[in-house]
Amino acid sequence: MKNGWLIITILVIVQTAWSQVPAQWRGTDRSGIYPETGLLTEWPATGPQLLWSVDGIGTGYSSAVSDGKVICLTGMVDEKDVITALNLDGSVRWKVPFGPSWSKSFPDARCTPTIDGDRVYVVSGSGVLACLNVGDGAIIWSFDGVKRFEGLYGEWGVCESLLVTGDMVIYSPAGMKTTLVALNKKTGETLWESGTLNDSSAYVSPRLIHFGGKDIILTVINKYLVGVELQTGKILWTYNYSALAPEKGLKVWPGAPKTNTITPLFDNGNIYITGGYDHVGALFKISDDASAISLVWTDTVLDCHHGGVVKSGNYIYGSNWINNGMGNWCCIDWATGKKLYEQKWFNKGPIIGADGMLYCQDEKSGNIGLVRPTPEKFDLISSFKIPLGKGPYWAHPSIYGGRLYVRHGDVLMAFDIAKK
């Protein structure tokens, strides 16, 4: 009986700890690495089993997130951004419009929700922020963030997944008034506004890091890599990423500084950022007291478009930009930026990792590959083609509870990738 109570206590502790970590964009720490274990290291020839699919979620590129009880994602329906909550069997719990979609170039919904306890937080393509009840979809608070903070965005609108930590929601309006703001997650009231860099936002979802005794919000806006102190909103340091010169003789697309989309990587005081269109990637080192950063190296191989990058071991993996419709898969060294391989596999696209493996998705024809992370080559173990949906395969896949969630257009699919 004592052993039984011990097991129950351990399970309660584990479940409580898990529930304290928001379900959010690209994993628990936004690194692209999901903390799942016990996953298949090879798939059947036809791919992992499709457990269920659901359509009608609206068009878009939002990833699915799950807290183990519900799955949430956004889509565009009739020019409104809609958040859909699904039960784990794929049945719809509720579907609620929360703000106008981005109405110009690439208008489909793109912002991934953040689930935190009994609430879910989201922002629309036009900049309307909302907090909803996870149980029934009731809107608890909502406002136009661009209007309130006089935000300034680029030609593809707002594309950000809100960062929720402690009692705060972090949002990046940028503009002439502020750069980042912290909101009371219960009420939506403003807790602080950082100073302004007189710059527009990009399409990057910020992440939280801890270094030099400080909790730091890390993000990239139109021109700048930015570090902001979480507790106060003080801008600790900036770096003009857009001004970094490319390799001699390499012509960079003029719009490159305006198209930052990749959440930075962080490890042991070092930050890696990258953007597409032949703009350089770069590694920076934070000073011991977190008051400054310095450039370590730049790289012209892994200029990632919008599929994300991951760090596995001492290496960075992702796909680069050759043109808007083509890119190769790459590995570079974390310490030096040296190219270790650049290999063609269908096309560029999203990448995530879990349980010691990489999951690479071809954005043009919808192939998903299970890849062993090694610096020697693109070591493809298994692959399959996404069977449902329409449009480009831009949505980043996600992994929860032994399932690979793949979104294509207005369809979400759940594949069983757990070992039996």
Residue 13 binned pLDDT confidence (cut-offs 50, 70, 90): very low
Distance CA 397, CA 386 (A): 11
Instruction: Quick: pLDDT tens for 36-86.
Output: 999 999 999 999 999 999 999 999 999 999 999 999 999 999 999 999 999
Instruction: Quick: pLDDT tens for 333-386.
Output: 999 999 999 999 999 999 999 999 999 999 999 999 999 999 999 999 999 999
- Is residue 358 within 8 Å of residue 351, measured between CB atoms? yes
Q: What is the pLDDT of residue 7?
A: 35
Q: E-assigned strands of 223-375?
A: 224-229, 235-240, 265-267, 270-273, 281-286, 293-299, 309-312, 315-319, 329-333, 339-343, 351-354, 357-361, 367-372
Is it the case that residue 11 has pLDDT exceeding 60? no
- pLDDT > 70: what percent of the chain? 93
**What tokens does 268 get?**
């042991």
What's the whole-number mean pLDDT along residues 167-174? 98
Is it the case that residue 225 has pLDDT exceeding 50? yes
Q: What is the pLDDT of residue 8?
A: 36
Is it the case that residue 14 has pLDDT exceeding 50? no
Residue 134 binned pLDDT confidence (cut-offs 50, 70, 90): very high
Residue 409 binned pLDDT confidence (cut-offs 50, 70, 90): very high
Instruction: Quick: pLDDT tens for 182-216.
Output: 999 999 999 999 999 999 999 999 999 999 999 99
What's the whole-number mean pLDDT along residues 125-133? 97
Instruction: Quick: pLDDT tens for 230-277.
Output: 999 999 999 999 988 666 556 677 767 678 999 999 999 999 999 989
From 7-16, 226-235, 292-301, the region with the lowest mean pLDDT: 7-16
Whose tokens are 């972090």? That residue is 170
Rounded to 5 degrees, φ, ψ at 404 are -100, 115
- Is residue 118 within 8 Å of residue 75, measured between CB atoms? no
User: Domain residues of the chain, as ranges?
Assistant: 28-416
Task: Give the length of the chain.
Answer: 420
Question: Right CATH number for 28-416 from 3.40.30.10, 2.130.10.10, 1.10.3720.10, 2.60.40.10?
Answer: 2.130.10.10
Comparing CA positions, the residue from 166, 208, 158, 205 lying closest to residue 183 is 166
Q: What is the pLDDT of residue 256?
A: 72
Distance CA 199, CA 224 (A): 8
- Is residue 25 within 8 Å of residue 205, measured between CB atoms? yes
H or E stretch covering 17: helix 2-19
- Is residue 242 classed as helix, strand or coil in its secondary structure? helix
- Tell me the average pLDDT of the chain: 93
Residue 21 binned pLDDT confidence (cut-offs 50, 70, 90): confident
Is it the case that residue 319 has pLDDT exceeding 90? yes
Is it the case that residue 300 has pLDDT exceeding 50? yes
